[in-house]
Amino acid sequence: MPDNLTKRVQPDRSKINMQEDYEVKYWTHELGVTRDELQRAVDKVGNAAAAVRKELGICPPGDRTPNAPSQKTGRRRISSANVTR
């Protein structure tokens, strides 16, 4: 039976589907990585977003630990307390 195209369903953000371009675009932006980096992580640990985040060393959303990688870019935040002068 074909999918019902009249119903919009939110994507499952707990899984990464490398077969859908829009999902790859979302996840590369969300994690701040390239498509190749994302593919290598998915190949290594599977398509669970939490496992991929862990493999890439990116904190899960909501983790506000100082100097933890940011949610959007995956890059570490620098606070003024950690700057050596």
CB 65, CB 76: distance < 8 Å: no
Q: What is the pLDDT of residues 7-51, one digit of tens each?
A: 666 778 899 999 999 999 999 999 999 999 999 999 999 999 999
How big is the chain by its Cα radius of gyration, in Å? 16
Distinct helix (H) and strand (E) counts, the chain:
3, 0
Residue 78 has pLDDT above 50, yes or no: no
